A and B are shown apart, each in its own frame.
Chain A
Amino acid sequence: MSRPPSSLIRGIGAHIALAGYTAIALFPVAVIVINAFKSRAAIFSEPLMPPTAKSFSLIGFETISSRGDFLSYFVNSATVTGVSLALILLFGAMAAFALSEYRFRGNALIALYVALGIMIPIRLGTVAILQMMVNGGLVNNLLALILVYTAQGLPLSVFILTEFMRQISADLKDAGRIDGLSEYKIFFTLVLPLVRPAIATVAVFTMIPIWNDLWFPLILAPAEQTKTITLGAQVFIGQFVTDWNAVLAALTLAIVPVLILYLLFSRQLVRGLTAGAVK
Chain B
Amino acid sequence: MSSAKFNRPPSTRWHILVFLTPTLLIYTALMVIPLASTLKQSLYNRVDDTLTFVGFSNFSKLLFDPIWATGFWNALSNNLVFFVIHMALQNPIGIALAALLANPKLRLARFYRTAIFVPTILSFVIVGFVWKLILSPLWGVAPSMLKAIGLGWLFAPWLGREDSALIALSLISVWQFVGMPMILIYAALLSIPDEVLEAAECDGIVGWSQFFKIKLPLILPTIGIASILTFVGNFNAFDLVYVSQGAQAGPNYSTDLLGTFLYRTFFGFQLQLGDTYMGATIASMMFLLILFGVCTYLFFVQRRLQRYQF
Near B by CB (< 8 A), chain A positions 228-243 give 230-231, 233-234, 237
Cβ-defined contact, B97 with A18, below 8 A:
yes
Contact of A32 among B13, B16, B113, B130 (CB under 8 A): B130
| Bitwise interface map of A from 68 to 98 toward B, beta carbon under 8 Å scored 1, else 0 | 0000000000000000000100111011011
Q: Find chain B residues with CB under 8 A from A43 CB.
A: 139
Kindly state whether residue B214 has any CB partner on chain A within 8 Å: no
For the side of the interface on A, what is the size category?
35 or more
Asked whether A129 and B187 contact (CB < 8 A) given A151-B27, A247-B133, the answer is no
Interface residues contributed by chain B, number (CB under 8 Å): 93
| Bitwise interface map of B from 125 to 157 toward A, beta carbon under 8 Å scored 1, else 0 | 110011101100001110011000000000000
Asked whether A119 and B290 contact (CB < 8 A) given A154-B27, A214-B123, A258-B122, the answer is yes
Binds B, one of A51-59, A166-174, A192-200, A266-274: A266-274
Q: Find chain B residues with CB under 8 A from A114 CB.
A: 23-24, 27
Tell me the total A-B contact number using a CB cutoff of 8 A.
Answer: 250
Q: Which residue of B lies closest to A32 (CB)?
A: B130
Asked whether A151 and B31 contact (CB < 8 A) given A214-B124, A254-B125, the answer is yes
Most buried by A among B24, B27, B129, B188: B27
| Bitwise interface map of B from 71 to 115 toward A, beta carbon under 8 Å scored 1, else 0 | 000000000000000000000010011001101011010011111
Inter-chain CA distance A235–B117, complex, in Å, is 26
Most buried by A among B117, B133, B262, B283: B133
Cβ-defined contact, A127 with B126, below 8 A:
no
Cβ-defined contact, A234 with B7, below 8 A:
no
Q: Find chain B residues with CB under 8 A from A131 CB.
A: 276
Inter-chain CA distance A13–B162, complex, in Å, is 38
Asked whether A17 and B100 contact (CB < 8 A) given A95-B23, A127-B280, the answer is yes
Asked whether A212 and B103 contact (CB < 8 A) given A132-B34, A259-B118, A273-B183, the answer is no
| Bitwise interface map of B from 270 to 310 toward A, beta carbon under 8 Å scored 1, else 0 | 00000010011001101100110010000000000000000
Asked whether A124 and B23 contact (CB < 8 A) given A262-B121, A273-B187, the answer is no
Near B by CB (< 8 A), chain A positions 22-55 give 22, 24-26, 28-29, 31-32, 43-44, 47-48
Asked whether A124 and B7 contact (CB < 8 A) given A151-B31, A214-B124, A278-B187, the answer is no
Q: Which residue of A lies closest to B97 (CB)?
A: A21
| Cβ distance B301 to chain A, nearest Cβ, rounded Å | 14
Asked whether A125 and B133 contact (CB < 8 A) given A97-B19, A212-B124, A230-B125, the answer is no
Asked whether A270 and B186 contact (CB < 8 A) given A31-B141, A44-B139, A254-B123, the answer is yes
Q: Would you mind naming 18 contact pairs between A and B with Cβ atoms under 8 Å apart?
A: A21-B116, A25-B118, A47-B139, A94-B22, A94-B23, A104-B16, A117-B31, A119-B232, A120-B287, A121-B236, A121-B290, A123-B283, A125-B30, A127-B38, A248-B133, A254-B125, A258-B123, A269-B117
The 8 closest A-B pairs by CB, nearest first: A125-B34, A212-B123, A151-B30, A128-B34, A98-B19, A95-B23, A273-B187, A128-B37
